[in-house]
Amino acid sequence: MSVILSVNNMEKYYGSKGSVTKAVDNISFQVEAGEFVGIMGASGSGKTTLLNCISTIDRVTSGEIQVAGRDITKLRGNALNKFRREELGFVFQDFHLLDTLTVYENIALALSIRRISPGKIEKSVRDAARRLGIGDILNKYPYQISGGEKQRTASARAIIGQPKLILADEPTGALDSKASRMLLDCFTQMNRELGATILMVTHDAFTASYASRILFIKDGGIFSEIRKGEEDRKSFFNQIIDVVTLLGGDLDDAV
């Protein structure tokens, strides 16, 4: 298996001289192609900062982040935009859909930004939408559909460009449990059937249990790592709870 994402000695400090906060403190890890990795941690543990740096929305203070062998911390300007639209796909807690566009157009936009020829867009959008079970709401606007449907629209938009890596930031954060389960099934399907590599940040143990490997972050560093291996989801979930308990009270809301 080839390494898609490689984070090496990454650090991110906030603040100026005198009062420095280390949000991410010397973290290193790798994600291989086709993996579904979860990152867990309490609020303030640095997991969102880590994700922002990987997604090039934020800049690292030191260290490097390689995606498919390229150090993205060195990218600037339009090269960065190009990297973002061609190698990454995003799913956010609050969907980040454009409310003036229909579901169809929201998904298509990801392709038209990549200057894909309009003829090909139509088919790809319908394909992706069908896979994620939103084929019959393509002409609806975001305000007309449920949160779960919105998040699946965002997922379709993330996967449609066949990115190297899909980054999901608390994707179930705004969803009820039924919608969460549907979305996570979609993620699993994307991961297994389409071979999508997914890096998901969450503080919810149930959501995390869908991943194949979980990194626990505490105070800006990696606290521990567990793999699902051949276990079923149920026992993996229990294993996660054990680590969370070990981590201390700050992940109380995890269950």
Partner 1 sequence: MMLFKLSLRNLKKSFQDYTIYFLTLVLGVAIFYVFNALDSQGVMQAVSASTREIIELMLAMLAGVSVFVSVILGFLIVYANNFLIRKRKKEFGVYMTLGMGRGSISRILLGETVIIGLISLAVGLVIGVFASQLMSILVARMFEVDMTSFTFVFSPGAAGKTVVYFGIMYVLVILLNAGAVSRYKLLDLLTAGRKNERVRMKNPVLSGILFVFSLGILAYCYASVLGIFGNVNQNQMMVLIGLGSVGTFLFFWSLSGLMLRVVQARKGFYLKELNLFVFRQMNSRINTMVCSMTVICLMLFLTIGVLSCGVSVNQSLNAELEELTPKDVCMTKSMESGEKQSREDADKGIETYLSGEGFGLSEVLREGYTEITSYTLPGLTWESTLGASKEQVMEQFPMLDWTQREELVPLSQYNRMAKLYGIPTYELSEDEYLLLCTFDSMKAIRDMALKAGASLSVGGKAYTPKYAECQEGYLSMSSSRTVLGIFVLPDSAFENGELVPYCNYLAGDYRGDSDEERMDLEERIETATKRTPIYVISKMALRESSVGVGAIITFIALYLGVIFLISSAAVLALKELSEASDNRDRYGILRELGADQGMIRRALFRQIGIFFLLPLSLAFVHSLFGVQFVNRMLVLLNGGSQMEAILFTAVFIAMIYGGYFLATYLGSRRIIEE
Give the residue, chosen from 3, 68, 75, 109, that forms a contact with partner 1 under the rule CB under 8 A.
109
How many binding residues for partner 1 (CB under 8 A)? 34
Q: Is 162 in the site for partner 1 (CB under 8 A)?
A: no
Give the residue, chosen from 2, 19, 78, 177, that forms a contact with partner 1 under the rule CB under 8 A.
78
Q: Is 100 in the site for partner 1 (CB under 8 A)?
A: yes
Q: Is 99 in the site for partner 1 (CB under 8 A)?
A: yes
- Minimum Å gap between C-beta 153 and partner 1 is 13
Strands 165-169 and 221-227, how do they pair?
A: unpaired
- Report the run of H or E that residue 148 belongs to, with start and end: helix 147-159
Give the residue, chosen from 30, 81, 238, 245, that forms a contact with partner 1 under the rule CB under 8 A.
81
DSSP state letter for 163:
-
Report the b/e string of 4-31 with b at 16+ CB within 10 A: bbbbeebbbeeeeeeeeebbbeebebeb
Q: Is 121 in the site for partner 1 (CB under 8 A)?
A: yes
- What CA dihedral angle connects 77, 79, 81 and 86, to 10 degrees? 180
DSSP state letter for 151:
H
Give the residue, chosen from 97, 134, 208, 215, that forms a contact with partner 1 under the rule CB under 8 A.
97
Q: Is 71 in the site for partner 1 (CB under 8 A)?
A: no
- Token look-up 């995003």 returns 90
Give the residue, chosen from 4, 51, 108, 217, that forms a contact with partner 1 under the rule CB under 8 A.
108
Q: 176 is written with which tokens?
A: 């009820």
Q: 99 is written with which tokens?
A: 């409310």
Q: Is 223 in the site for partner 1 (CB under 8 A)?
A: no
Binding mask 49-68 for partner 1 (x = CB under 8 A): ------x-x-----------
Q: Is 20 in the site for partner 1 (CB under 8 A)?
A: no
Give the residue, chosen from 77, 177, 229, 230, that forms a contact with partner 1 under the rule CB under 8 A.
77
Q: Is 143 in the site for partner 1 (CB under 8 A)?
A: yes
Give the residue, chosen from 90, 187, 216, 237, that forms a contact with partner 1 under the rule CB under 8 A.
90
Q: Is 110 in the site for partner 1 (CB under 8 A)?
A: yes
Residue 137: helix, strand or coil by DSSP?
helix
- Report DSSP letters for 38-70, one per residue: EEE--TTSSHHHHHHHHTTSS--SEEEEEETTE
